[in-house]
Structure 1
């Protein structure tokens, strides 16, 4: 496959892959997004309002007393 190279071990088994991002960059981004989504599937969820409050706390625009 053009733009794809496999790295193999001494036994000829595929160990890694090199991807030409100029040719396959968009596909790689899609694949990477799936990997990130899978890795984060067990993370705690929060509402949009909770996220905004946390961002404001980090930025220092919301006092700790404002949060329930």
Structure 2
């Protein structure tokens, strides 16, 4: 990922209260987050003692859970 060129929003006292990002950088962050969520779900599935399932079924289940989450 390219280096972030963030800009900060500040309150009247100069405290940082928000961040402005280029839309492309924001999308890259969302893509990386999605990737990490999938890896985390996979790691949890591997660590659990649940019955195993085919990889394709696991991917479909992970995707369904991810898209149904707000």
TM-score (structure 2 length as normaliser): 0.38
Larger-Rg structure: 1
TM-score (structure 1 length as normaliser): 0.38
Q: Which structure has more helix as a fraction of its residues?
A: 2
